[in-house]
Every structure is written in C-alpha cells, then in structure tokens.
Amino acid sequence: MAQQDAIWALGCMSGTSMDGVDAAMVLTDGVEVFEFGATGFRPYSDSERDVIRAAQGAWLGDIGVAEAEAVVRHAHAELIARFGGVELVGFHGQTLAHDPGGQGTHQTGDGAALAQQIDHNVVWDFRSADVAAGGQGAPLAPFYHFALARRLGLGPIAFLNLGGVGNVSFVNPFAATADVPRALLGFDTGPANALMDDFVKERTGLACDYGGAMAAAGRVDQALVSSFLEGGYFARKPPKSLDRNDFADLVDAVAGLSDLDGLATLAAATIGAVRRAFDYAPKGLEKVLVCGGGRKNTHLMQGLKVALNTPVEDIDDAGFDGDMLEAQAFAYLAVRAQKGLSLSAPGTTGVKTPLTGGRLSLPGHVH
C-alpha cells in the first residue's frame, strides 16, 4: 500500500480513567502512518462521570447502561463536530465490563446511532469479534505500536501505556507485518492510574496525586505489595487482559493505610506489576516508551527507571503525543477494519489466528 491509499481517520477513546474523550486524526492506509493531524479533548463533567461510573460492571440491558450510552455518545458527537476533513471515525466507546471467556466484553456507545448523528462513517465494537473467537479482546493498541516502531526505525522496543489499567506491547519492528509470529507480544500489566486516582479522590477530593508527590512522601507496605504480586493474574502467561474492577482485593488491603502510605503502596504495586510483565520482554530491548497519564507521575517514572533494566523514556521525547496515542490507535484500527485487515493476533489477545473486527455503520444505514 502507499500514501495515495491513505485516508484521514479520526480515532476517539474514552479510557478506564473516565476523565473524558480524546480524539486524534491520523493519515494512514492501515499499514503505515504517514501524518498526525489535529487532536482534541472533551472532559466529562462530574455528573456525566457519575452516570458512567454507576454503570461500571454492567452489561447491555442492565439498569443505567442506556443512560451511560447517551452520555458517552453525546460527548463524542460534541468533540467530533470540532474536526474537519474526517473520512472515517473510529469509535471505541466506554468499557463498562470485560470478561473474556465469560460474559464477553461490553463497550457502551451505539456506533450506528453515532453515524446518523455526526453524518460520518463509523467503525465501532472493535473487541467483540476477538472475544467471540476465544481471544482476550485486549489490548488492541499493539498493532498501532508496531506501525510507530517501524516509523521510528529502531530495533526491539516496548510501549508501556499507563492509563487506568497498564498494558505493554513488546515490538519486533523487523517482522514483516504485525500479525506474523513473534512480531508482537501485548498484554495488560496490572493496575496503573485507576486505583491511585480513586484512592486519592475518596480520601482528599483531588482528581489525582499530581506528579506522585503524595506517594513519594509515603511508606510502602512491602508485605502487602509482595502478597498482591503473588496473585493468580501475575502467575499466568500472556497474552492476558484485565478489567478495571479486577483489583478489589488490593483496594481493600490499602483501606487501612494512611493517605500517603496508601498511595505509596498502590504506586509500588503498579511498578511491581510492570516489573513482572518485563519477565516476558524479548532479548535486546532497546528502550521503553511510556505513554498515558502515568508518564506525568514523576514518582512512578523514577520507580520504573529503577525497576527495569532498559532505558525508560516519556514517549513525547520520541516525537509522539503520549496523551493521544490510544485515540490515534483507534483511527488506525478503523482503517484496518474497513479494509478487512487484522486487528489482533495470537501474540496480542491470544486469539488462535490473526483476526479482523469492528462494525462499520454508515449514515442513513442502520446495522
């Protein structure tokens, strides 16, 4: 494929931190990334966030889901209206529940209704096909990370996303394509910002521990962290994925700690989980590029630099926008989905063979 086959796609992402909607334009043919375009952010109000939070863990048809869907779709439509030149929209929606191997995966957000509302072609429901085929349905960003690694021209590299939940992509950019064996290994590492944000909001009313200053002033309960990292999830081989609500035991365990010690312990659990994930890193890894909100937490970044045997950098220093990487990923994946290209593979979600996914909805057509 070549640049003449590329289109401007707008990717939208509302992550597990539930702070709002990111949107980013990418010029891509679904294989290479040629240009990065405009970006935008539309925060959720406190009342909107409360509606979404109330529906966490719910499935289609459950109480509160219709209200959450309306909030999510309205926020996306508002943000998308700010962009011009959009040829395709990638609409991830808001994950409410994720139970691969069980009930499935649930991202609220009706892409067919959104297509009518914004008068654009919309690719949505990215994860269901993978889960239905026996995959984890997550993470999906590794295919985009592969394209970025090729763009950088480096050797083996890791992309560590510290959003609400952490995930890592180990990329071998020398592989022919993203979906061949050993091109990619991607999986969720463990908690990232979600538990710390929830903890600090409940204790202090603040949105987050800015820069990790409170965690840095606290004392880590090492026994608690060690016990947490012995848990079943960390003993399982990747690929593997998590739900935002999978760490209730850790939340209960830190409940008796002070504000500072609780945050210090949650940060140490996050760093320890990443350290465990890097047991699966390929040989010759050149660097770790950190994206997501966690890269702005100085305490976390310092801890990762100590814990990992590989140089750790903020992805912004490599020339990328670490706040918009996931939104860009869903622009890229939307183009791949429209062309019937794979979105997941055995090394990323554990699905048996490389698989495409997503549903395409057109204005004036209800699918």
Strand spans (E) along the chain? 7-14, 20-28, 33-43, 88-99, 104-108, 122-124, 157-162, 165-171, 184-191, 287-291, 312-314, 359-361
CATH class for the region spanning 153-318: alpha beta
| The model's pTM | 0.93
CATH topology classification for 3-139+324-361: Nucleotidyltransferase; domain 5 (3.30.420)
Amino acid at the residue 118: I
Domains 3-139+324-361 and 153-318 share a fold: yes
Tokens 């109480």 correspond to what residue? Answer: 63
Determine the pLDDT at residue 241.
Answer: 87
Determine the pLDDT at residue 201.
Answer: 93
Determine the pLDDT at residue 244.
Answer: 75
Determine the pLDDT at residue 1.
Answer: 52
Determine the pLDDT at residue 116.
Answer: 97
Domain ranges of the chain: 3-139+324-361, 153-318
Q: Two tokens at 199?
A: 């903890």
Which residues of the chain carry a pLDDT beneath 70? 1-2, 365-367
Determine the pLDDT at residue 16.
Answer: 79
Helix, strand, coil shares of the chain, percent, nearest 5, are 40, 20, 35
Determine the pLDDT at residue 2.
Answer: 66
